[in-house]
Each structure stands twice: as structure tokens, then as C-alpha cells.
Amino acid sequence: MTASYDKNISQAQSNETQNLVDAFNALDTDAKLAWFYLVYKKMGDSITPAAPAAAEPELSPILSEDYFKLSDEEQLAIMRDIVNRKDTEHSRAYGAIKENNQLLVWYAWAVAMGDTVVDLPSSYQPAKEINDLVSQIEGLEFEEQMSVFRTIAGEVGYTDIKPIATQAETGKTPSL
């Protein structure tokens, strides 16, 4: 079972930014991972100050120190489980943290790629869809970029926590 997400509460507010989130969601698993890597490689200098400054530095050790000690194959499997929203220990740990911390996880992994984190194969050439998506995001204003990044980061991982129903959905007014 995979966790679902409600596009109606997406942080990607404009049609343009929502279209970019939809384009990301249309990518296959490994293309999504390549997108995360390329975004942080090309745009990490602008994402980095925003995400960690808003994040709480106490990340789950399973996503930080412990993760860095795993084999390349284990790390790749965990990344794939997270982008596929699988119900696994790592995906639940990721799904349990706030979006700014989720951005921090991807940042930490991207910084360590090729060192203590599995790297893209040296022969890897990103597909046109990935390059187009990165280019479109680069063309956005900073706030729109962060909106897209937070939305994408928040939609991956597994959580079984459901959003609280709104008054319009329940027909009930809040009580004191």
C-alpha cells in the first residue's frame, strides 16, 4: 500500500508550479532520483541556505549517520522506496519529518554523493524530460522554486497520517 497525497493542499500554489510537480510525478523512479541529484548539483547553493535554516537539525539517525554506512545498493534501494512511497522503515522515518527536514535529507545525500552516498553512474545522461524540468524550475522565482521543492519532498516517503478533515468536508463547525 502506498500513501496518497491530496493535490488540493499542495504547496505548489500556481498552475505553473503545480504542472512542474505533476511533471516530476510522471517521471520513473530512477529519473526522480536523478532529478533530486541534478537539482541539488545545479541549484544547491540557493536551496541550501533556505532549507537547513528552516529545518530542525535533529534528523532521524536512520536517514543520516546510519544511512551513510550502508552499501551503495542498500542506499539506492532506500531512495527508491522513498520516492515510490513504499511502507518501509526508512520511508516511514522520512515521511514522519517536516518538509524542510525532508529537503535537508536530500541535500545531505546530494552533498555526499560519490563519497559516502551512492553516485550516479559516470556514463549517466539525463533524459530530456529531466533536463527540461530542471531548466523550468531554474526559471522560477526563488519562492516558487522552494514551493516546488517542498511539495515534491513532502509527497514522497510513506506516512499513514491522514489530513484533518475540513469543515466543508465534515459539515461540522469547530467547537470550543
Residue 8's pLDDT is what? 47
Backbone angles phi, psi at 117, to 5 degrees: -125, 140
Q: Give the model's confidence band at 77: pLDDT under 50 very low, under 70 low, under 90 confident, else very high.
A: very high
Q: Give the model's confidence band at 4: pLDDT under 50 very low, under 70 low, under 90 confident, else very high.
A: very low
Lowest mean pLDDT segment, chosen from 74-78, 108-112, 113-117, 132-136: 108-112
Q: Give the model's confidence band at 84: pLDDT under 50 very low, under 70 low, under 90 confident, else very high.
A: very high
Q: Which of 3, 4, 15, 54 is nearest to 148 (CA)?
A: 15
pLDDT surpasses 70 at 18: yes
Q: In percent, how much of the chain has pLDDT > 90?
A: 49
What gap in Å lies between CA 38 and CA 134, rounded to an integer? 7
Could you report the per-residue pLDDT of 127-155, keeping only the tens digit for each?
999 999 999 999 999 889 988 998 999 99
Backbone angles phi, psi at 87, to 5 degrees: -85, 85
Residue 52's pLDDT is what? 53
Q: Give the model's confidence band at 163: pLDDT under 50 very low, under 70 low, under 90 confident, else very high.
A: low
Angle between helix 15-26 and 128-138 (nearest 10):
160
What is the pTM (predicted TM-score) of this model? 0.80
Residue 143's pLDDT is what? 87
Give the end-to-end CA distance of the chain in Å, rounded to a whole number: 36
